[in-house]
Structure 1
Amino acid sequence: MARNEVVVKSMNILKLFEQHEALSLNDIVNLTGSPKTSVMRMIRSLEDMEFISKRADKKYCLGLSFLHFGQLVAERLDIRRIALPYMIELRDEVDEAVALVVPHGDEAMYVEKVDTSQMVRVYTRVGRRAPYYAGACPRILLAFMEPSRREAYIESVQMVKMAAGTITDKAVLRQVLEESRKNGYSMSFSELETGAAAIAAPIFNHQGTVVGGLSILATDYRIREYQEQGGDLANRVKQKANQVSKELGWMPRD
C-alpha cells in the first residue's frame, strides 16, 4: 500500500521534536529540506489539531494532544500497569530509582520510572531510547532476545562510545551477554552516562519471550558501596521482574 506523503511529511516534522525542544519555521524547513510553503501548510494543520503549538518567542514545540494521547498509551500498556506497583516496592526497599524498558525496534525505550529521594540521582526520562548494547536495562533485552535476532543485531550495529564505560567491542559484548543469560541479570557502570550504574533483570510474557527489563538506577559509587556492604541488588531486581513476568502469564522452568 502506498504511503500518504502528507502524513509521512507531517510525521517527519513531529519527529524533529524528539531531539529539539523548540524549533523556528526556518529550522524546520532546513532540517526537513521541504519547501517553506509546504512546511507552513503542514504546521498550520498540526497546530489546528494541537499536535504542535507556537510559543511567545515564535518557535514551535509539541502540543497538548501528545500529552493526552501519551497518557492513554501509558495507561493501556499492560506491562507498565502491572510493573508499577513492584517498581514502587523495589524503590522503597533500596531507596534508588527504578526503571522499566521495553523493546522498540532496534532500541530499548524507557516507559516508566519511579524516582529516589536521594539528593544525587541518575536522570532518565520516560520516552528515552537507548541502543541494546549499552546499559544494563537495554542489554538485558538483547541478552534474552531470540538468538538469531540477537546475532543479526550484533553483526549489523555500529557500537558508538556514549560514556566512559560503553562497550564497543563485539567480542566483549557477546561475552557479557552470555554472562547475563547465565546469571539472569545484567550490570553496567558508566555506559550510557558517566558515573551512572544499573542492575537489570528480564521480564517475560506467557510465551517465554522477553518483553521488558526492570532495573535499579543509581550512581556508580552507591551501587558499588551497596554491594561491598553485602547488599544483593541483583536478587532484589530479579525477584520483582519475576513477579511481573508471572502476572503476564510466564511459567518459570526448573
Structure 2
Amino acid sequence: MQSKNKTVVRSMEILNLFINHAKLTFNEIIELSGIPKTSVYRMLQSLEEMGLLDKDANGKYSLGILFLRFGHLVSERIDLRQVALPAMEKLHQDLGEAINLIIRDGDEAVYIEKLQSIQPVRLYTTIGRRTPLYAGACARAILSFLPPTEREDYLKRVELTAYAKGTITSEEALRHSISETRNKGYTVSFSELEDFTAAVGVPIFNHLGEVVAAISIAGIETNYTEEHLAVFIPKAKEAALDISLKLGYRPEV
C-alpha cells in the first residue's frame, strides 16, 4: 500500500530480525536488514526509548520487556477454540470423521471442542468429557510432549486402569508409546477408551514451544486401516501445525 510509513515499515523489519536472533550488534542489524547505517542508528534509538529493544553492556540488542507484556496479553486473550475451529472444520469436511480438541487439566485431558462424525455409526463424545492422559490418542499426544520432569512425575504416580480392551495398562508399554509418539509426532489408539473405536492424535504447541492442546481424528476402528491412516495422519499433523503456528509456535529449522 502507498500509505505505508517507510520508517514504521523499516522499524518492523528490524524487529522481525529478532524472531530468529536472540541478540544482534549494531553492525549485524545493518548487514541483515540492508537499511542504511544512519537510518538504523535513529530507529534503534527510538525503539530502545520505547522499550521495544534493550541494549546490554556489550552493545548487543534484544527484544525489550514491552514485548513480554504484549506477549502475556496476547496469550491470555487468545481463544484456543476459535483459533482451532477453522482447521478442525477443514479436517471434518475432508474426512467426515469426528474431530476433537482437548487440553490438559492436571492428570486429565478435557474435551473443549468437537465436530461430530458424518459416518452412519458415530462416536458420542461430549464437550467437557475427561479422560486420563495415558489413554486415547489425543490425551497421550499431550502426555508425550510434556517436559521430562512433569512426565516422569506423572508416570510414577499414575495408576494405569483399563477402560476398554485396548487400554495401555503397563508402564513399559506406555513408555514405548510415548517414545514412538515423540519420534513420529503423532500417536494412534485402538479401543483404548471405548471398544471398537480408534483415533489419531497430534500435539499443539504455543509460542514458547510448550504443548498446550491436542487434536484428534476419531471414529470406528474398522475405518482405521493402514490405507486410511496414511491419509488421516498427515492431515492431522497439518491441522495441528496450522493451529500451533497461529498460536505463535515456530518449528525448529
TM-score by length of 2: 0.68
The answer to whether the 8 Å contact 2:117/2:123 transfers is no
Give the match's secondary structure for 2:224.
helix
CA shift for structure 1 position 231:
3.8
1:115 lines up with 2:116 in the alignment: yes
Q: Number of paired residues?
A: 177
Give the match's secondary structure for 1:154.
helix
CA shift for structure 1 position 228:
2.6
State the Cα RMSD in Å. 1.2
Counterpart of 1:245, as a letter, is S
Counterpart of 1:177, as a letter, is I
- Residue 236 of structure 1 is matched in structure 2 by 235
Counterpart of 2:151, as a letter, is R
Separation in structure 2 between the aligned mates of residue 230 and residue 160 of structure 1, nearest angstrom:
27
Q: Which runs of 5+ in 1 are unaligned?
A: 1-75
Distance change (3 Å), C-alpha of 1:221 and 1:253: same
The answer to whether the 8 Å contact 2:91/2:239 transfers is yes
Q: Deviations over 1:47-68 (max 9, x none)?
A: xxxxxxxxxxxxxxxxxxxxxx
Separation in structure 1 between the aligned mates of residue 145 and residue 171 of structure 2, nearest angstrom:
17
Separation in structure 2 between the aligned mates of residue 230 and residue 196 of structure 1, nearest angstrom:
14
CA shift for structure 1 position 223:
1.2
- Residue 171 of structure 1 is matched in structure 2 by 172
Separation in structure 1 between the aligned mates of residue 111 and residue 228 of structure 2, nearest angstrom:
29
1:182 lines up with 2:183 in the alignment: yes
Q: Which aligned pairs between 1:12-31 and structure 2 lie closer than 5 A?
A: none
- Residue 158 of structure 1 is matched in structure 2 by 159
Distance change (3 Å), C-alpha of 1:230 and 1:187: closer
Q: Deviations over 1:144-176 (max 9, x none)?
A: 001110011011000000000000000110000
Distance change (3 Å), C-alpha of 1:251 and 1:77: closer
Give the match's secondary structure for 1:92.
helix
CA shift for structure 1 position 246:
0.2
The answer to whether the 8 Å contact 2:142/2:203 transfers is yes
The answer to whether the 8 Å contact 2:202/2:237 transfers is yes
Distance change (3 Å), C-alpha of 1:230 and 1:129: closer
- Residue 46 of structure 1 is matched in structure 2 by none
- Residue 222 of structure 2 is matched in structure 1 by 221
Separation in structure 2 between the aligned mates of residue 109 and residue 90 of structure 1, nearest angstrom:
20
Q: Which runs of 5+ in 2 are unaligned?
A: 1-76
Distance change (3 Å), C-alpha of 1:177 and 1:229: closer
The answer to whether the 8 Å contact 2:108/2:131 transfers is yes
Separation in structure 2 between the aligned mates of residue 128 and residue 250 of structure 1, nearest angstrom:
27
Distance change (3 Å), C-alpha of 1:229 and 1:155: closer
Q: Which aligned pairs between 1:188-199 and structure 2 lie closer than 5 A?
A: 188-199=189-200
Separation in structure 1 between the aligned mates of residue 229 and residue 202 of structure 2, nearest angstrom:
19
Give the match's secondary structure for 2:103.
strand
TM-score by length of 1: 0.68
Separation in structure 2 between the aligned mates of residue 230 and residue 168 of structure 1, nearest angstrom:
24
Q: Which aligned pairs between 1:91-170 and structure 2 lie closer than 5 A?
A: 91-170=92-171
Counterpart of 1:176, as a letter, is S
Identity of aligned residues (%): 43
CA shift for structure 1 position 190:
0.1
Q: Which ranges of 4 or more aligned residues in structure 1 deviate by more than 6 Å?
A: none
- Residue 21 of structure 2 is matched in structure 1 by none
- Residue 211 of structure 1 is matched in structure 2 by 212
